[in-house]
Structure 1
Amino acid sequence: MPAPKDLMLLLPLAFLALQASLCHGACVEVDSDTEAEVDTGFKLGCISCKRRGEVTAEAYVEWEFKPFNDSESTPIYSYVEKNSKFHDPRFENRLEWRGSNNTNDLQDGSIYIHNVTFNDSGTYICTFYRTLKYTNYEFQTNHTKNIFLTVVPKLTRGMASILSEVMMYVSIIGLQLWLVVEMIYCYRKIAAAGEEALRESAAEYLAIASESKDNCAGEQVAE
Protein backbone atom coordinates (compact mmCIF):
# COMPACT_ATOMS: atom_id res chain seq x y z
CA MET A 1 0.00 0.00 0.00
CA PRO A 2 1.49 3.42 -0.98
CA ALA A 3 2.58 5.69 1.80
CA PRO A 4 0.60 8.92 2.44
CA LYS A 5 3.48 10.94 1.05
CA ASP A 6 3.40 8.94 -2.20
CA LEU A 7 -0.36 9.43 -2.47
CA MET A 8 0.08 13.20 -2.16
CA LEU A 9 2.54 13.10 -5.06
CA LEU A 10 0.15 11.07 -7.20
CA LEU A 11 -2.83 13.40 -6.69
CA PRO A 12 -1.55 16.18 -9.04
CA LEU A 13 -0.82 13.59 -11.74
CA ALA A 14 -4.31 12.17 -11.42
CA PHE A 15 -5.78 15.68 -11.66
CA LEU A 16 -3.79 16.43 -14.82
CA ALA A 17 -4.89 13.15 -16.39
CA LEU A 18 -8.52 14.01 -15.64
CA GLN A 19 -8.10 17.46 -17.18
CA ALA A 20 -6.50 15.97 -20.30
CA SER A 21 -9.39 13.51 -20.70
CA LEU A 22 -11.87 16.41 -20.57
CA CYS A 23 -10.10 18.49 -23.21
CA HIS A 24 -11.09 16.23 -26.14
CA GLY A 25 -8.22 17.43 -28.32
CA ALA A 26 -8.01 21.19 -27.83
CA CYS A 27 -7.42 23.31 -30.94
CA VAL A 28 -4.11 25.19 -31.09
CA GLU A 29 -3.39 27.79 -33.77
CA VAL A 30 0.15 27.31 -35.12
CA ASP A 31 1.74 29.53 -37.76
CA SER A 32 2.69 27.89 -41.05
CA ASP A 33 6.26 27.51 -42.27
CA THR A 34 7.20 30.13 -44.86
CA GLU A 35 10.16 28.62 -46.73
CA ALA A 36 9.92 25.68 -49.14
CA GLU A 37 12.57 23.78 -51.10
CA VAL A 38 12.08 23.51 -54.84
CA ASP A 39 10.92 20.14 -56.29
CA THR A 40 9.74 18.92 -52.87
CA GLY A 41 6.39 18.89 -51.08
CA PHE A 42 5.27 21.64 -48.73
CA LYS A 43 2.39 22.00 -46.29
CA LEU A 44 0.60 25.33 -46.06
CA GLY A 45 -0.74 25.30 -42.53
CA CYS A 46 -3.93 27.19 -41.71
CA ILE A 47 -5.78 26.62 -38.42
CA SER A 48 -8.69 28.67 -37.11
CA CYS A 49 -10.07 27.55 -33.75
CA LYS A 50 -13.76 27.83 -33.02
CA ARG A 51 -13.89 29.89 -29.82
CA ARG A 52 -17.26 28.79 -28.42
CA GLY A 53 -17.12 25.02 -27.98
CA GLU A 54 -20.73 24.78 -26.77
CA VAL A 55 -22.07 26.22 -30.07
CA THR A 56 -22.38 23.96 -33.11
CA ALA A 57 -20.98 25.33 -36.36
CA GLU A 58 -20.39 24.65 -40.02
CA ALA A 59 -17.43 25.96 -41.95
CA TYR A 60 -15.72 25.89 -45.31
CA VAL A 61 -12.30 27.07 -46.46
CA GLU A 62 -11.11 28.99 -49.50
CA TRP A 63 -7.53 29.51 -50.61
CA GLU A 64 -6.20 32.30 -52.85
CA PHE A 65 -2.76 32.91 -54.31
CA LYS A 66 -1.02 36.18 -55.16
CA PRO A 67 2.52 36.08 -56.64
CA PHE A 68 4.97 38.58 -55.18
CA ASN A 69 5.08 40.49 -58.50
CA ASP A 70 1.28 40.66 -58.84
CA SER A 71 -1.19 42.98 -57.13
CA GLU A 72 -4.26 40.76 -57.36
CA SER A 73 -5.00 37.35 -55.87
CA THR A 74 -6.82 34.52 -57.63
CA PRO A 75 -8.80 31.62 -56.08
CA ILE A 76 -6.95 28.33 -56.28
CA TYR A 77 -8.78 25.89 -53.99
CA SER A 78 -11.89 25.48 -51.84
CA TYR A 79 -13.07 22.80 -49.42
CA VAL A 80 -16.80 22.54 -48.70
CA GLU A 81 -18.43 19.56 -46.92
CA LYS A 82 -15.58 17.14 -47.70
CA ASN A 83 -15.57 18.18 -51.37
CA SER A 84 -12.48 19.74 -52.91
CA LYS A 85 -12.63 22.14 -55.83
CA PHE A 86 -9.70 23.47 -57.83
CA HIS A 87 -9.90 26.93 -59.37
CA ASP A 88 -6.44 27.32 -60.91
CA PRO A 89 -4.90 24.89 -63.45
CA ARG A 90 -1.41 25.67 -62.08
CA PHE A 91 -2.28 23.78 -58.89
CA GLU A 92 -4.95 21.32 -60.05
CA ASN A 93 -2.72 18.23 -60.05
CA ARG A 94 -0.48 19.33 -57.20
CA LEU A 95 -2.76 20.40 -54.35
CA GLU A 96 -3.96 18.02 -51.67
CA TRP A 97 -6.23 18.59 -48.68
CA ARG A 98 -4.42 18.12 -45.35
CA GLY A 99 -6.98 19.66 -43.00
CA SER A 100 -9.63 18.14 -40.75
CA ASN A 101 -12.53 16.14 -42.16
CA ASN A 102 -15.21 17.05 -39.61
CA THR A 103 -17.48 19.54 -41.42
CA ASN A 104 -19.43 20.26 -38.21
CA ASP A 105 -16.30 21.65 -36.54
CA LEU A 106 -13.80 22.42 -39.31
CA GLN A 107 -10.76 24.06 -37.72
CA ASP A 108 -7.77 22.88 -39.76
CA GLY A 109 -7.79 24.06 -43.36
CA SER A 110 -4.23 23.13 -44.32
CA ILE A 111 -3.29 22.09 -47.86
CA TYR A 112 -0.22 20.38 -49.33
CA ILE A 113 1.63 21.38 -52.53
CA HIS A 114 3.45 18.64 -54.41
CA ASN A 115 6.54 19.40 -56.54
CA VAL A 116 7.00 23.00 -55.46
CA THR A 117 8.35 25.35 -58.16
CA PHE A 118 9.88 28.82 -57.96
CA ASN A 119 6.66 30.18 -59.46
CA ASP A 120 4.86 29.10 -56.27
CA SER A 121 6.51 31.91 -54.31
CA GLY A 122 4.00 34.46 -53.16
CA THR A 123 1.22 35.19 -50.70
CA TYR A 124 -1.31 32.46 -49.92
CA ILE A 125 -4.57 33.65 -48.40
CA CYS A 126 -6.55 31.17 -46.31
CA THR A 127 -10.08 32.19 -45.30
CA PHE A 128 -12.43 30.32 -42.97
CA TYR A 129 -16.13 31.01 -43.46
CA ARG A 130 -17.93 29.79 -40.35
CA THR A 131 -21.61 29.73 -39.40
CA LEU A 132 -22.32 29.56 -35.66
CA LYS A 133 -25.73 28.02 -35.02
CA TYR A 134 -27.57 29.26 -31.96
CA THR A 135 -31.04 28.27 -30.81
CA ASN A 136 -32.96 31.02 -32.58
CA TYR A 137 -30.50 32.46 -35.06
CA GLU A 138 -27.24 31.92 -36.97
CA PHE A 139 -24.15 34.10 -36.97
CA GLN A 140 -21.78 34.38 -39.95
CA THR A 141 -18.08 35.01 -39.33
CA ASN A 142 -14.81 34.67 -41.25
CA HIS A 143 -11.13 34.53 -40.38
CA THR A 144 -8.32 35.21 -42.87
CA LYS A 145 -4.63 34.28 -42.62
CA ASN A 146 -1.82 35.33 -44.97
CA ILE A 147 1.17 33.05 -45.57
CA PHE A 148 4.19 34.55 -47.34
CA LEU A 149 5.92 31.61 -49.03
CA THR A 150 9.43 31.78 -50.46
CA VAL A 151 10.78 28.91 -52.59
CA VAL A 152 14.55 28.40 -52.36
CA PRO A 153 16.98 25.99 -54.07
CA LYS A 154 17.91 24.38 -50.76
CA LEU A 155 16.66 24.86 -47.24
CA THR A 156 19.14 26.32 -44.77
CA ARG A 157 18.89 26.14 -41.03
CA GLY A 158 18.08 29.43 -39.38
CA MET A 159 20.26 30.96 -36.70
CA ALA A 160 17.46 30.62 -34.16
CA SER A 161 17.23 26.88 -34.81
CA ILE A 162 21.00 26.46 -34.44
CA LEU A 163 21.13 28.50 -31.23
CA SER A 164 18.21 26.57 -29.70
CA GLU A 165 19.92 23.26 -30.48
CA VAL A 166 23.23 24.49 -29.00
CA MET A 167 21.44 25.69 -25.86
CA MET A 168 19.71 22.33 -25.55
CA TYR A 169 23.04 20.44 -25.65
CA VAL A 170 24.63 22.93 -23.23
CA SER A 171 21.73 22.41 -20.82
CA ILE A 172 22.03 18.63 -21.06
CA ILE A 173 25.79 18.71 -20.44
CA GLY A 174 25.36 21.16 -17.54
CA LEU A 175 22.72 18.94 -15.98
CA GLN A 176 24.95 15.89 -16.28
CA LEU A 177 27.89 17.75 -14.69
CA TRP A 178 25.64 18.90 -11.85
CA LEU A 179 24.49 15.32 -11.25
CA VAL A 180 28.10 14.09 -11.18
CA VAL A 181 29.05 16.78 -8.64
CA GLU A 182 26.04 15.91 -6.50
CA MET A 183 26.92 12.20 -6.62
CA ILE A 184 30.52 12.90 -5.60
CA TYR A 185 29.38 15.19 -2.77
CA CYS A 186 26.89 12.62 -1.48
CA TYR A 187 29.47 9.84 -1.73
CA ARG A 188 32.04 11.83 0.27
CA LYS A 189 29.41 12.77 2.85
CA ILE A 190 28.34 9.15 3.27
CA ALA A 191 31.96 8.00 3.43
CA ALA A 192 32.80 10.63 6.06
CA ALA A 193 29.75 9.61 8.10
CA GLY A 194 30.83 5.98 7.88
CA GLU A 195 34.37 6.76 9.01
CA GLU A 196 33.03 8.82 11.94
CA ALA A 197 30.77 5.94 12.94
CA LEU A 198 33.69 3.52 12.76
CA ARG A 199 35.82 5.81 14.93
CA GLU A 200 33.06 6.13 17.51
CA SER A 201 32.55 2.36 17.51
CA ALA A 202 36.29 1.78 17.93
CA ALA A 203 36.54 4.31 20.78
CA GLU A 204 33.53 2.74 22.50
CA TYR A 205 35.03 -0.72 22.10
CA LEU A 206 38.38 0.42 23.54
CA ALA A 207 36.61 2.10 26.48
CA ILE A 208 34.68 -1.08 27.23
CA ALA A 209 37.83 -3.17 26.94
CA SER A 210 39.76 -0.82 29.22
CA GLU A 211 36.96 -0.86 31.80
CA SER A 212 36.84 -4.64 31.70
CA LYS A 213 40.61 -4.81 32.18
CA ASP A 214 40.45 -2.47 35.19
CA ASN A 215 37.69 -4.55 36.74
CA CYS A 216 39.71 -7.73 36.32
CA ALA A 217 42.77 -6.10 37.89
CA GLY A 218 40.69 -4.92 40.88
CA GLU A 219 39.28 -8.39 41.44
CA GLN A 220 42.77 -9.91 41.42
CA VAL A 221 44.03 -7.37 44.03
CA ALA A 222 41.07 -8.10 46.28
CA GLU A 223 41.83 -11.80 46.24
Structure 2
Amino acid sequence: MCAVTLLLPVMLLAHQASVCGGACVEVESDTEAVVGKGFKLGCISCKRRGEVKAEAEVSWSFQASGDSDFSELYYYENTAGEVIDPRFYDRLDWNGSKSTRDLQDGSIYILNVTFNDTGVYKCNFNRLLKYSNHDYFTNTTKTILLTVVPQVTRGMASILSEVMMYVSIIGLQLWLVVEMIYCYRKISAAGEEALRESAAEYLAIASESKENCADAQVAE
Protein backbone atom coordinates (compact mmCIF):
# COMPACT_ATOMS: atom_id res chain seq x y z
CA MET A 1 0.00 0.00 0.00
CA CYS A 2 2.81 2.40 0.89
CA ALA A 3 4.67 1.70 -2.34
CA VAL A 4 1.52 2.40 -4.37
CA THR A 5 0.95 5.67 -2.50
CA LEU A 6 4.49 6.87 -3.18
CA LEU A 7 4.40 5.91 -6.86
CA LEU A 8 1.00 7.52 -7.52
CA PRO A 9 2.27 11.12 -8.05
CA VAL A 10 5.01 9.90 -10.39
CA MET A 11 2.51 7.84 -12.42
CA LEU A 12 0.13 10.81 -12.71
CA LEU A 13 2.90 13.12 -13.90
CA ALA A 14 4.03 10.58 -16.47
CA HIS A 15 0.47 10.15 -17.72
CA GLN A 16 -0.02 13.90 -18.07
CA ALA A 17 3.28 14.22 -19.95
CA SER A 18 2.32 11.44 -22.36
CA VAL A 19 -1.10 12.99 -22.97
CA CYS A 20 0.20 16.50 -23.44
CA GLY A 21 3.05 15.40 -25.66
CA GLY A 22 0.80 14.45 -28.56
CA ALA A 23 -2.05 16.96 -28.06
CA CYS A 24 -2.65 20.42 -29.47
CA VAL A 25 -3.09 23.09 -26.81
CA GLU A 26 -4.20 26.62 -27.72
CA VAL A 27 -1.82 28.65 -25.56
CA GLU A 28 -2.22 32.42 -25.65
CA SER A 29 0.66 34.49 -27.01
CA ASP A 30 2.84 36.69 -24.83
CA THR A 31 2.03 40.37 -25.22
CA GLU A 32 5.17 42.16 -24.03
CA ALA A 33 8.38 42.34 -26.09
CA VAL A 34 11.74 43.88 -25.22
CA VAL A 35 13.29 46.32 -27.67
CA GLY A 36 16.31 44.88 -29.49
CA LYS A 37 15.35 41.29 -28.63
CA GLY A 38 13.52 38.58 -30.55
CA PHE A 39 9.85 37.88 -29.90
CA LYS A 40 7.43 35.09 -30.83
CA LEU A 41 3.89 36.04 -31.80
CA GLY A 42 2.00 32.87 -30.93
CA CYS A 43 -1.05 31.73 -32.87
CA ILE A 44 -2.37 28.17 -32.40
CA SER A 45 -5.63 26.85 -33.84
CA CYS A 46 -6.20 23.17 -33.05
CA LYS A 47 -7.96 20.93 -35.55
CA ARG A 48 -10.74 19.28 -33.53
CA ARG A 49 -11.16 16.18 -35.69
CA GLY A 50 -7.78 14.49 -35.95
CA GLU A 51 -9.03 11.81 -38.35
CA VAL A 52 -10.29 14.38 -40.88
CA LYS A 53 -7.84 15.52 -43.54
CA ALA A 54 -7.41 19.26 -43.82
CA GLU A 55 -5.56 22.02 -45.59
CA ALA A 56 -4.76 25.28 -43.85
CA GLU A 57 -3.24 28.66 -44.56
CA VAL A 58 -2.26 31.43 -42.17
CA SER A 59 -2.28 35.17 -42.78
CA TRP A 60 -1.12 37.92 -40.42
CA SER A 61 -2.06 41.60 -40.42
CA PHE A 62 -0.68 44.49 -38.38
CA GLN A 63 -2.07 47.78 -37.11
CA ALA A 64 0.72 49.96 -35.75
CA SER A 65 0.11 52.20 -32.79
CA GLY A 66 -1.54 55.37 -34.12
CA ASP A 67 -2.69 53.80 -37.41
CA SER A 68 -6.38 53.46 -38.24
CA ASP A 69 -6.18 50.46 -40.58
CA PHE A 70 -4.59 47.03 -40.69
CA SER A 71 -1.96 46.20 -43.30
CA GLU A 72 -1.04 42.75 -44.58
CA LEU A 73 1.99 41.45 -42.71
CA TYR A 74 2.71 37.80 -43.54
CA TYR A 75 1.23 34.88 -45.46
CA TYR A 76 2.03 31.16 -45.11
CA GLU A 77 0.81 28.16 -47.15
CA ASN A 78 2.26 24.80 -48.18
CA THR A 79 5.53 25.09 -46.20
CA ALA A 80 6.33 28.50 -47.73
CA GLY A 81 5.87 31.95 -46.24
CA GLU A 82 6.13 35.52 -47.50
CA VAL A 83 6.74 38.76 -45.61
CA ILE A 84 4.41 41.36 -47.11
CA ASP A 85 4.96 44.43 -44.92
CA PRO A 86 8.28 46.13 -45.89
CA ARG A 87 8.75 47.29 -42.29
CA PHE A 88 9.45 43.65 -41.39
CA TYR A 89 11.70 42.65 -44.28
CA ASP A 90 14.65 40.55 -42.98
CA ARG A 91 13.17 40.76 -39.47
CA LEU A 92 10.34 38.25 -39.55
CA ASP A 93 10.24 34.48 -40.01
CA TRP A 94 7.85 31.53 -39.70
CA ASN A 95 7.86 29.83 -36.28
CA GLY A 96 4.89 27.48 -36.58
CA SER A 97 4.08 24.00 -37.86
CA LYS A 98 6.07 22.53 -40.72
CA SER A 99 3.61 19.86 -41.83
CA THR A 100 1.25 20.62 -44.72
CA ARG A 101 -1.23 17.96 -43.56
CA ASP A 102 -1.80 19.23 -40.02
CA LEU A 103 -1.01 22.94 -39.81
CA GLN A 104 -2.08 24.02 -36.33
CA ASP A 105 0.64 26.39 -35.13
CA GLY A 106 0.77 29.62 -37.12
CA SER A 107 3.27 31.49 -34.96
CA ILE A 108 5.78 33.96 -36.37
CA TYR A 109 9.01 35.33 -34.91
CA ILE A 110 10.20 38.96 -35.01
CA LEU A 111 13.94 39.64 -34.89
CA ASN A 112 15.35 42.82 -33.34
CA VAL A 113 12.07 44.24 -32.03
CA THR A 114 11.69 48.03 -32.25
CA PHE A 115 9.29 50.42 -30.53
CA ASN A 116 7.52 50.82 -33.89
CA ASP A 117 6.41 47.17 -33.60
CA THR A 118 3.97 48.17 -30.87
CA GLY A 119 0.39 47.64 -32.00
CA VAL A 120 -2.30 45.10 -32.78
CA TYR A 121 -1.57 41.86 -34.66
CA LYS A 122 -4.23 39.61 -36.14
CA CYS A 123 -3.68 35.96 -37.03
CA ASN A 124 -6.19 34.39 -39.43
CA PHE A 125 -6.38 30.61 -39.74
CA ASN A 126 -8.24 29.46 -42.85
CA ARG A 127 -8.79 25.70 -42.75
CA LEU A 128 -10.52 23.44 -45.27
CA LEU A 129 -11.73 20.16 -43.72
CA LYS A 130 -12.00 17.37 -46.30
CA TYR A 131 -14.77 14.94 -45.36
CA SER A 132 -15.61 11.90 -47.48
CA ASN A 133 -18.60 13.53 -49.20
CA HIS A 134 -18.02 17.27 -48.77
CA ASP A 135 -15.54 20.00 -47.79
CA TYR A 136 -16.04 22.37 -44.87
CA PHE A 137 -14.33 25.76 -44.51
CA THR A 138 -13.50 27.26 -41.11
CA ASN A 139 -11.90 30.53 -40.09
CA THR A 140 -10.30 31.40 -36.77
CA THR A 141 -8.99 34.87 -35.88
CA LYS A 142 -6.78 35.65 -32.92
CA THR A 143 -5.85 39.19 -31.86
CA ILE A 144 -2.67 40.12 -30.00
CA LEU A 145 -2.01 43.56 -28.51
CA LEU A 146 1.79 43.85 -28.39
CA THR A 147 3.61 46.30 -26.15
CA VAL A 148 7.33 46.97 -26.59
CA VAL A 149 9.25 47.93 -23.46
CA PRO A 150 12.91 48.93 -22.89
CA GLN A 151 13.52 46.08 -20.46
CA VAL A 152 11.83 43.01 -19.05
CA THR A 153 9.07 43.72 -16.55
CA ARG A 154 7.35 41.16 -14.41
CA GLY A 155 3.66 41.44 -13.81
CA MET A 156 1.90 40.44 -10.62
CA ALA A 157 0.34 37.43 -12.38
CA SER A 158 3.79 36.14 -13.33
CA ILE A 159 5.10 36.57 -9.79
CA LEU A 160 2.08 34.84 -8.24
CA SER A 161 2.36 31.99 -10.75
CA GLU A 162 6.01 31.43 -9.84
CA VAL A 163 5.25 31.56 -6.10
CA MET A 164 2.42 29.03 -6.49
CA MET A 165 4.72 26.73 -8.46
CA TYR A 166 7.32 26.72 -5.67
CA VAL A 167 4.61 26.28 -3.01
CA SER A 168 3.25 23.26 -4.91
CA ILE A 169 6.72 21.72 -5.22
CA ILE A 170 7.47 22.21 -1.52
CA GLY A 171 4.03 20.85 -0.56
CA LEU A 172 4.55 17.74 -2.68
CA GLN A 173 7.98 17.14 -1.14
CA LEU A 174 6.58 17.49 2.39
CA TRP A 175 3.75 15.10 1.55
CA LEU A 176 6.23 12.54 0.24
CA VAL A 177 8.37 12.87 3.39
CA VAL A 178 5.29 12.34 5.61
CA GLU A 179 4.28 9.29 3.56
CA MET A 180 7.79 7.84 3.79
CA ILE A 181 7.86 8.33 7.58
CA TYR A 182 4.40 6.76 7.91
CA CYS A 183 5.37 3.78 5.78
CA TYR A 184 8.66 3.33 7.66
CA ARG A 185 6.87 3.30 11.01
CA LYS A 186 4.25 0.91 9.70
CA ILE A 187 6.88 -1.47 8.35
CA SER A 188 8.90 -1.21 11.59
CA ALA A 189 5.81 -1.91 13.70
CA ALA A 190 4.96 -4.92 11.53
CA GLY A 191 8.54 -6.20 11.89
CA GLU A 192 8.48 -5.79 15.67
CA GLU A 193 5.13 -7.57 15.86
CA ALA A 194 6.51 -10.43 13.79
CA LEU A 195 9.54 -10.67 16.07
CA ARG A 196 7.32 -10.74 19.15
CA GLU A 197 5.16 -13.47 17.64
CA SER A 198 8.26 -15.48 16.72
CA ALA A 199 9.67 -15.05 20.23
CA ALA A 200 6.36 -16.08 21.83
CA GLU A 201 6.14 -19.10 19.54
CA TYR A 202 9.72 -20.07 20.39
CA LEU A 203 9.05 -19.77 24.14
CA ALA A 204 5.87 -21.82 23.77
CA ILE A 205 7.78 -24.57 21.95
CA ALA A 206 10.56 -24.48 24.51
CA SER A 207 8.08 -24.67 27.39
CA GLU A 208 6.28 -27.58 25.75
CA SER A 209 9.58 -29.38 25.24
CA LYS A 210 10.47 -28.93 28.91
CA GLU A 211 7.09 -30.30 29.97
CA ASN A 212 7.53 -33.30 27.70
CA CYS A 213 10.94 -33.98 29.17
CA ALA A 214 9.59 -33.68 32.71
CA ASP A 215 6.74 -36.12 31.92
CA ALA A 216 9.22 -38.54 30.41
CA GLN A 217 11.43 -38.43 33.51
CA VAL A 218 8.44 -39.09 35.79
CA ALA A 219 7.37 -42.00 33.64
CA GLU A 220 10.83 -43.56 34.00
Scaled by the length of structure 2, the TM-score of the pair is: 0.72
| One-letter identity of the residue aligned with 1:33 | D
Aligned match of 1:43: 40
Partner of residue 76 from structure 1, selected from 67, 73, 76: 73
| One-letter identity of the residue aligned with 2:119 | G
Structure 2 distance, partners of 1:211, 1:50, is: 79
Aligned match of 1:178: 175
Q: Check 1:180–1:88 CA distance in 2 against 1; reply closer, same or farther (3 A cut).
A: closer
Partner of residue 32 from structure 1, selected from 9, 29, 34: 29
Using the TM superposition, give the Cα deviation of residue 71 of structure 1 relative to its aligned residue in structure 2, in angstroms. Answer: 1.8
Aligned match of 1:157: 154
Q: How does 1:62-141 map to 2 (within 5 A)?
A: 62-103=59-100, 105-132=102-129, 140-141=137-138
How many equivalent pairs are there? 203
Moved more, 170-179 or 34-43: 170-179
Q: Check 1:89–1:221 CA distance in 2 against 1; reply closer, same or farther (3 A cut).
A: closer
- Alignment identity in percent? 72
Using the TM superposition, give the Cα deviation of residue 125 of structure 1 relative to its aligned residue in structure 2, in angstroms. Answer: 1.4
Scaled by the length of structure 1, the TM-score of the pair is: 0.71
Computing the radius of gyration from Cα coordinates, the structure with the larger value is 1
Calculate the aligned-residue CA RMSD, in Å: 3.4
| One-letter identity of the residue aligned with 2:28 | D
Using the TM superposition, give the Cα deviation of residue 130 of structure 1 relative to its aligned residue in structure 2, in angstroms. Answer: 3.8
Report Cα offsets for 1:5-51 as digits up to 9, x if no partner: xxxxxxxxxxx9xx97xxxx554432211111110111112223344
Q: Check 1:191–1:70 CA distance in 2 against 1; reply closer, same or farther (3 A cut).
A: same
Using the TM superposition, give the Cα deviation of residue 83 of structure 1 relative to its aligned residue in structure 2, in angstroms. Answer: 4.0
Structure 2 distance, partners of 1:69, 1:185, is: 65
| One-letter identity of the residue aligned with 2:180 | M
Q: Is 1:147 paired with 2:139?
A: no
